[in-house]
Amino acid sequence: MEGDSTNLDAQIESLLNVEKQMRLASDVAGTRKAVIDIVELCYKAGAWKTLNDQIVLLSKRRGQLKQAITAMVQKAMEYIDLTPDMDTRIELIKTLSSVSAGKIYVEIERARLIKRLAKIKEEQGKIEEAADLMQEVAVETFGSMAKTEKIAFILEQVRLCLDRQDYVRAQILSRKISTRVFDADPSKEKKKPKEGDNIVQDAPAEIPSLLELKRIYYELMIRYYSHNNDYLEICRCYKAIYDIPAIKEDPAKWTPILRKICWYLVLAPCDPMQSSLLNSTLEDKNLSEIPNFRLLLKQLVTMEVIQWTSLWTFFKEEYENEKNLHGGALGDKAAEDLKLRVIEHNILVVSKYYSRITLKRLASLLCLSLQEAEKHLSDMVNSKSLIAKIDRPMGVVSFSTAQDSNGILNSWATNLEKLLDLVEKSCHQIHKETMIHKAVLKA
């Protein structure tokens, strides 16, 4: 064994001399070949420690050529999967990533190495370490990395942050991906690189397609928004997944997603974005396949008071199904929020039909106690989704808005204009009738 190592050292020494001569002569091809020969020699001898030492040594030699370092790192990366045990593998990855740190010409290789190392750490249950490792790399600045590989890398960073419940950093990282990227047509992008441009490398085979990445991105965003119950954003994420061609074509795939879109639409507080999504979903032909949900959305659009008890009796089974069978999408809070949305809808309906109403009557219409009705009404006024005043001693709610003097004068002016218009039209009609009548008499 000792003879082997002496022999190996001698072989490496002679190759190092060759490498030195080539390097000093600035012979790119020769230096590259000598460096690769040394790496291959160490691998064939199974001397992993020597391999690590030689990689560091070669990278630090004076005036070392970029092409030689790139070739050496790429060659050594092929041996990662061939290492005899996990410790050797981690050691080799660490050596290669430290050699390629800060060197632009091997930045892609370094990103891939870090990703490998983070995966190993995650498998060992060290989520914190894996997330910290991944965060060091800013792939969005890499000019020669394929777009899909960049997105896949950032999504991995986001996923690890969500796994360690670091929601703030997950959001910051997710903003590095522009959603417009997913809507781009890849067939139109194959333009020839100009002279002097960085040639973009092709993504490795294991990187998913752009549409698959779109699905992963929105699923991660759903996890992020679920943590603070942002129902409208969750609904928009499901809507984006629903629009992916592969899902739109397969009823088995789109049905559960459309169900979720409907649930989250109903759970989202009423605002312009929610109502436009609600109307566009109602126009979707696929909704007729799940009539119960069509009915649910229809009730929210119709300006009529919804009876909470009958609604819940009808939809309780659907809700339990969604909660237990379909990936447990709806949390425990969802049932309370659903009731709250129905109450808000009912208050808005009442405000449309009444300018003044007693609290007692309002409470009976909403099927609530006086205190609850007053609380919900106050909450809606606070959130600026409704304008109302409560006269508590009289127990009367007034929905009419107090206008300022300008508003009153403007409405008077408009009314006068309308009145004068009508008078003018009437005069015109009378004049016309008289003219016709005269013409008939003359005849």
Residue 133: alpha-carbon gap to chain centroid? 22
381 and 388 Cβ atoms separated by less than 8 Å: yes
CA–CA distance from 30 to each of 22, 76, 229 (Å)?
A: 6, 18, 61
Please tell me the distance from the alpha carbon of residue 234 to that of residue 317, in angstroms, as a whole number. Answer: 22
Q: Contact, 225 vs 233, CB < 8 A?
A: yes
Instruction: Give the Cα-Cα-Cα angle 400, 401, 407 (nearest 5 degrees).
Output: 130
Cβ neighbourhood burial of 345 (10 Å; 0-12, 13-18, 19+): buried
- The shares of helix, strand and coil residues in the chain, as percent rounded to the nearest 5, are 75, 0, 25
What burial letters (b/e) apply to 160-184, b meaning 16+ CB within 10 Å?
bbbeeebeebbeebbeebeeeebee
Number of other CB atoms surrounding residue 221 within 10 Å: 24
Using only C-alpha atoms, the chain has a radius of gyration, in whole angstroms, of 35
Task: Report the pLDDT value the prediction gives residue 394, as an integer from 0 to 100.
Answer: 85
Query: Concatenated DSSP letters for 267-285?
Result: HSPP-HHHHHHHHHHHT-G
- List of long-range contacts for 336-339, beta carbons under 8 Å, 24+ apart: 337/229, 337/231, 337/267, 338/266, 338/267, 339/308, 339/312
Question: Which CB contacts under 8 angstroms, 24+ apart, belong to 93-102?
Answer: 93/117, 93/120, 95/52, 95/55, 95/56, 96/55, 98/56, 99/55, 99/56, 99/59, 99/69, 99/73, 100/69, 100/73
Distance CA 369, CA 297 (A): 27
What does the pLDDT read at residue 2?
44
Both structure tokens of 399: 């929905």
Q: Which of 47, 52, 54, 58 is nearest to 23 (CA)?
A: 58
Residue tagged 């007692």 (tokens): 360
Residue 430 pLDDT: 94
Residue 243: name the closest of 226, 258, 259, 221 by CA: 258
User: What pLDDT is stored for residue 197 in this prediction?
Assistant: 47
Per-residue pLDDT of the chain (443 residues; tens, 9 = 90+): 444 667 788 888 888 888 888 888 888 898 888 889 888 888 888 888 888 888 888 888 887 888 888 888 988 888 888 888 888 888 888 888 888 888 888 888 888 889 888 988 888 888 888 888 888 888 888 878 888 889 999 999 999 999 988 999 999 999 999 888 887 665 555 554 444 445 677 777 778 888 889 999 999 999 899 888 888 899 999 999 988 888 888 888 888 888 888 888 888 888 888 888 888 888 888 888 888 888 888 888 888 888 877 787 777 777 777 766 544 556 667 778 888 888 888 888 888 888 888 888 888 888 788 888 888 888 888 877 778 888 888 888 888 766 677 878 888 888 999 999 999 999 999 999 999 988 888 76
Give me the pLDDT at residue 244, please.
87
Residue 154 structure tokens:
């950032």
Q: Is 126 helix (H, G, I), strand (E, B) or coil?
A: coil
Whether the CB-CB separation of 236 and 221 falls below 8 Å is answered with: no
- One-letter amino acid identity for 195? E
CA–CA gap between residue 286 and residue 25 (Å, rounded)? 71
Start-end of H helices in 85-139: 86-100, 107-123, 127-135
Burial class (CB in 10 A: 0-12, 13-18, 19+), 294: middle
Residue 365 confidence (pLDDT): 82
- pLDDT at site 329: 55
pLDDT value, residue 185: 60
